[in-house]
Amino acid sequence: MLRQFRLFASFILLAVLTVMAPLPVAAQEGGTLSLSTPYPSLVIGVGETLTIDVDIHSTVSQVVALDVANVPDGWTIEFRGGGRTIRSVYVDADSTANIKARVEPPEDVQAGTYTFQVVARSGNEEATLPVELVVREKAPAQLTLSTDFPTIRGTSDTTFRYSVTLKNEGDEEITANLVADAPADFLVTFKSAGKDITSLPIAPGSSKRLDVSVEPIADPPAGSYQVMIYAQGGDVEASLPLVAEVVGRPNLDVTTPDGRLSGDVYLGRENTINLVVRNQGSAPAIGVQVSASAPAGWTVTMDPEQIDEIAAGDEVNVTATVKPAEKAVAGDYIITFRASPTEGATDSTEYRVTVRASTLWGLVGVALIAVAIGVVALAVTRFGRR
């Protein structure tokens, strides 16, 4: 009899509740008290804490004690209201109290489905609300570096530019530090949008393009150089080997044995200037033509005029024979000496020559004075008288 009545009463209440509060899920047992939540089944990631909204409805004014049941091991669940942890809540007649349940899974929680019930008690009345939490393994944080062209060829004065894509395949934003491990002669810089960068934030699932430039500082010998670039963020790291293939090239330098680039030449004479053609590059210079640009009317001959080969790091002596123009004015002139290999850059050096007139006419002048004095002496001996 009693059982029949209770069943009937619950039907009535259901009907009333359905009309009065169209809540998505309502769990209730008993007459006056009911619990509800908008989302009774939630998916969370490992390590996440969440807060569930719980509504408590009562038809009469009463104090409702709050509790949880069937809590999984290690989980802590507490109720919060008014900024504090609460144990019970007072509900007015025919009204709804809103509280929050803060659910904190243990740090080492396994993926799976966990359930617990929120229990509200008032006197002997009790209402429960089952909550289902699906804990899902998060996608592991992961960075990848990739490039289409990992090997670039160039000469020792080329800046090797690689286009690299950095991708965050994890679920969290990562600030990636960019590091490079390069041979001593190379300078590696990372650029994004034209700026030098050393780290950059990268959103989950997105990728960014980086320009990596590898610049040889010294003149590295020909060869293949590997540059490792790393992107480090938190405890993940991505690396990518880049290869710079340095092709050797000749680098000629025209100078004099002692480095002095000025000297004297005498009018009417063949003057020799000693030069040195040095190959400071990383490949032999083939077929080097040695030439000079001299003032008009001057003759400059080079010996030798052509050098078949200058090995890398080697030097060859060249003698320039300079004959100034007949009517050259004394003073300073510029002669440009040039060495041009068949392949590679031409080097030229400006040499400053001071033209000096012959001092032969000076002797003639002195002789003239001597003659004048001789004439005096002659006159004195010839005409001397008291």
Partner 1 sequence: MARLHERERTPREREGSPWTGLGAVLAKEMADHLTSARMFILEILIVLTAVGTVYAALQGIRSGGQTKFLFLRLFTTAREPLPAFIGFLGFLVPLIAIAMAFDAINDEFNRRTISRVLAQPIYRDALLMGKFLAGLFTLAVVFSAIWLLIFGLGILGLGVPPTGEETARALWFLLVTIFYGGIWMSLAMTYSIIFRSPATAALASIATWLFFTVFWDMVVGLVVRLFQPAQVFSLEQALQLAQLELNLARFSPNTLFAEATIILLRPSVRSLGIVLPIQLDRALLGSPLPLSQSLVLIWPHLTGLIAVTILLFVVGYVLFQRREIRA
Count of C-beta atoms within a 10 Å radius of residue 76: 12
Spatial separation of the C-alpha atoms in residues 166 and 210, rounded to whole Å: 7
| 272 contacts 255 by C-beta, under 8 angstroms | no
Spatial separation of the C-alpha atoms in residues 364 and 368, rounded to whole Å: 6
Question: For partner 1, which residue of 91, 265, 294, 300 counts as binding (CB under 8 A)?
Answer: 294
**Does the protein bind partner 1 through residue 335 (CB under 8 A)?**
yes
**Does the protein bind partner 1 through residue 329 (CB under 8 A)?**
yes
Query: Which is closer to partner 1, CB of 95 or CB of 358?
Result: 358
Question: For partner 1, which residue of 18, 110, 198, 293 counts as binding (CB under 8 A)?
Answer: 293
**Does the protein bind partner 1 through residue 7 (CB under 8 A)?**
no
Q: Which amino acid type is present at position 144?
A: T
| 152 contacts 247 by C-beta, under 8 angstroms | no
- The number of residues in the chain equals 386
What b-and-e string marks burial along 14-38, b requiring 16 or more CB atoms within 10 Å of the CB?
A: eeebeeeeebeebbbebebbbbbbe
- What is the DSSP secondary structure assignment for residue 222, as one 8-state letter? S
Spatial separation of the C-alpha atoms in residues 288 and 266, rounded to whole Å: 29
Query: Which is closer to partner 1, CB of 106 or CB of 374?
Result: 374
Q: Is the link from the previous residue into 304 a cis peptide, with omega within 30 of 0? A: yes
| 281 contacts 252 by C-beta, under 8 angstroms | yes
Lateral strand order in the sheet of 199-202: 151-155, 236-247, 223-233, 174-181, 199-202
Question: For partner 1, which residue of 198, 334, 342, 343 counts as binding (CB under 8 A)?
Answer: 334
| 186 contacts 165 by C-beta, under 8 angstroms | no
Q: What is the DSSP string of 77-107?
A: EEEEETTEEESEEEE-TTEEEEEEEEEE--T
Binding map of partner 1 across residues 360-379, x = CB under 8 A, - = no contact:
-xx--xx-xx-xxx-xx--x
**Does the protein bind partner 1 through residue 354 (CB under 8 A)?**
yes
- What minimum distance in Å lies between the beta carbon of 319 and partner 1? 21
Number of residues that bind partner 1 (CB under 8 A): 39
Give every CB contact of residue 153 below 8 A, 6+ residues apart in sequence: 245, 247
Question: For partner 1, which residue of 328, 339, 341, 344 counts as binding (CB under 8 A)?
Answer: 328
Q: What is the DSSP string of 153-175?
A: EEETTPPEEEEEEEEE-SSS-EE
- What minimum distance in Å lies between the beta carbon of 326 and partner 1? 10
**Does the protein bind partner 1 through residue 16 (CB under 8 A)?**
no
Question: For partner 1, which residue of 79, 160, 333, 337 counts as binding (CB under 8 A)?
Answer: 333
Question: For partner 1, which residue of 146, 331, 342, 343 counts as binding (CB under 8 A)?
Answer: 331
Spatial separation of the C-alpha atoms in residues 136 and 170, rounded to whole Å: 14
Query: Which is closer to partner 1, CB of 223 or CB of 362?
Result: 362
- What minimum distance in Å lies between the beta carbon of 186 and partner 1? 42
Query: Which is closer to partner 1, CB of 124 or CB of 381?
Result: 381
Spatial separation of the C-alpha atoms in residues 352 and 337, rounded to whole Å: 11
- What minimum distance in Å lies between the beta carbon of 160 and partner 1? 41
**Does the protein bind partner 1 through residue 3 (CB under 8 A)?**
no
Query: Which is closer to partner 1, CB of 63 or CB of 330?
Result: 330
- What minimum distance in Å lies between the beta carbon of 353 and partner 1? 10
- What is the DSSP secondary structure assignment for residue 108, as one 8-state letter? T
- What minimum distance in Å lies between the beta carbon of 358 and partner 1? 8
Q: Select from 66-74, 132-140, 208-216, 348-356 the region that touches partner 1 (CB under 8 A).
A: 348-356
Query: Which is closer to partner 1, CB of 114 or CB of 333?
Result: 333
**Does the protein bind partner 1 through residue 295 (CB under 8 A)?**
yes
Q: Select from 53-61, 73-81, 111-119, 320-328 the region that touches partner 1 (CB under 8 A).
A: 320-328
Query: Which is closer to partner 1, CB of 238 or CB of 254?
Result: 254
Binding map of partner 1 across residues 253-292, x = CB under 8 A, - = no contact:
----------------------------------------
Contact footprint for partner 1 (CB under 8 A)? 293-297, 325, 327-335, 352, 354, 356-357, 359, 361-362, 365-366, 368-369, 371-373, 375-376, 379-386
